[in-house]
Amino acid sequence: MNEDERGAVTAEYAIVIMAAVAFAGLLVAIMRSGEIRQLLVELVQNALGAAG
């Protein structure tokens, strides 16, 4: 692997990490919304109720 390829791999890792951080931030924003959190809780409860 030459010098340029190592830089490209590092850049790819940086992009993946930034995307993961953005996704985590989006999840935090969603979970802080009371309406959406309640909707997700009901969805999970209904799924567990249907499975049981």
Q: What pTM does this model have?
A: 0.55
Q: How many angstroms separate the CA atoms of 52 and 49, rounded?
A: 5
For the stretch 2-51, pLDDT in tens is: 666 777 788 899 999 999 999 999 888 888 888 888 888 899 999 998 86
Domain holding 20, by residue range, is: 3-51
- How many domains does the chain fold into? 1
Q: How many angstroms separate the CA atoms of 40 and 2, rounded?
A: 48
Q: How many angstroms separate the CA atoms of 21 and 9, rounded?
A: 18
Contact (CB, 8 A) for 31 and 37: yes
